[in-house]
Amino acid sequence: MRRIVATLTLSVALLWLAPARSASFQIAAQTPAAASAAQAELPNREGTLKFAVLGDFGTGSREQYEVGTQMAKVHERFPFELVITVGDNLYGSQQPKDFQTKFELPYKGLLDANVKFYASLGNHDEREVQRFYQLFNMDGKLYYTFKAPKQSVRFFALDSTYADPSQSAWLEKELDAAGEDWKIPYFHHPLYSSGERHGSTPTLRSAWEPMFVKYGVSVVFAGHDHFYERIKPQQDIVHFVTGSGGQLRKGNIDERTGLTASGFDTDRAFLVAEIDKDELYFNVVSRLGRVVDSGIIQRRKR
């Protein structure tokens, strides 16, 4: 596990949560050794938006099921109402039975609790099958936007595998029209990543990042590289790579990129977040229930 202290920038401040900040919720008993003094907490307040982020998960493996069990455990104490997926929702065969063994069963606890999943698609996902799958809530679209049920938040699920000009035009129009305080894009290929296997996607970055900057995006979620990484703020935006929901590429974070604010590449993980007005609190939880990263992101103001 690697951990690098975050850098503070002009308008995005990342702060470690102090134990005294809130007493209402604690999702793990112990934080990693490097941050042993901190007990990572989320406020778990009434009326906030609570959500989870999951990527690169649909393997059907024992580890995927264990992550699903851990998510359900967290949900018992921190009742997030939705999960956004950053793609590679199913690997390999994607017949109807695979949707059961690689999605419905691993997350049965969440689905039974009426947690809604909003999928974006990765390069392993069969687009024509998944976009019509009811439990992915894509409504037949490859890219779409939706308003969160609480707080002033709008999500943008994008298709990074086929980023055609019409999608970029749509994105610009929707970002411009969005009146919400938080505009949160999520998709598969990371604009920034320290993955030795894949790494950053500069071609996509040059197309989308200017829009994210222009329209006041504060945080972006992606996957593709099979680990967890929080990137040092780029253009005042915090990028997360959350690609270890089922897959894992051990030791794949290359710190020489200088991009890593915090990383975890020794086990699977998912992220839970809470938005309360201008603050986004996050915890990253490993398959075994340890909090491996946490912090607060202040919303950028346009």
Partner 1 sequence: MAGTALALTVTMLLASPAGFRGAQSPPAVAQDDPAHRVNRDARVMAEFEERIKAYVSLRRELEGTLPALPKDPTQQQINAHRMALVALIAKTRAKALPGDIFTKETRALFRRYLARVFDGPQGRELRASIMDENPGRLRLHINTRYPESVPVASVPPQVLQALPRLPGDLEYRFIGNRLLLHDVRAQIIVDFFDDAIDA
Question: Which chain residues interact with partner 1 by CB under 8 A?
Answer: 91-96, 99, 123-124, 126-129, 132-134, 160-166, 168, 189, 198, 201-204, 206-207
Closest-CA residue to 275 (of 18, 53, 5): 53
* Residue 88 CB, nearest approach to partner 1 (Å): 9
Residue 119: phi, psi to the nearest 5? -90, 145
* Residue 29 CB, nearest approach to partner 1 (Å): 38
Separation of alpha carbons 223 and 228, rounded Å: 8
* Residue 166 CB, nearest approach to partner 1 (Å): 8
With beta carbons less than 8 A apart as the criterion, state whether 287 and 70 touch. yes
Of the pair 4, 207, the CB lying nearest partner 1 is at: 207
Residue 131: phi, psi to the nearest 5? -70, -15
* Residue 134 CB, nearest approach to partner 1 (Å): 7
* Residue 129 CB, nearest approach to partner 1 (Å): 7
What does each C-alpha distance from 190 to 8, 55, 213 come to in angstroms?
21, 12, 16
* Residue 246 CB, nearest approach to partner 1 (Å): 15
Closest-CA residue to 252 (of 203, 292, 194, 295): 194
Residue 258: phi, psi to the nearest 5? 75, 10
- CB-based contacts of 187: which residues, under 8 Å, 6+ apart? 86, 87, 120, 157, 158, 159, 160, 221, 222
SS3 68: helix
Of the pair 164, 255, the CB lying nearest partner 1 is at: 164
With beta carbons less than 8 A apart as the criterion, state whether 285 and 268 touch. no
Of the pair 51, 143, the CB lying nearest partner 1 is at: 143
Of the pair 253, 271, the CB lying nearest partner 1 is at: 253
Q: What is the DSSP letter of 101?
A: I
Of the pair 38, 135, the CB lying nearest partner 1 is at: 135
Of the pair 15, 211, the CB lying nearest partner 1 is at: 211
Residue 267: phi, psi to the nearest 5? -160, 170
Residue type, 294: S
Pairing of strands 291-298, 279-286: antiparallel
* Residue 130 CB, nearest approach to partner 1 (Å): 10
How far from chain centre, in Å, is Cα 162? 20
* Residue 84 CB, nearest approach to partner 1 (Å): 20
Of the pair 99, 182, the CB lying nearest partner 1 is at: 99
Of the pair 7, 139, the CB lying nearest partner 1 is at: 139
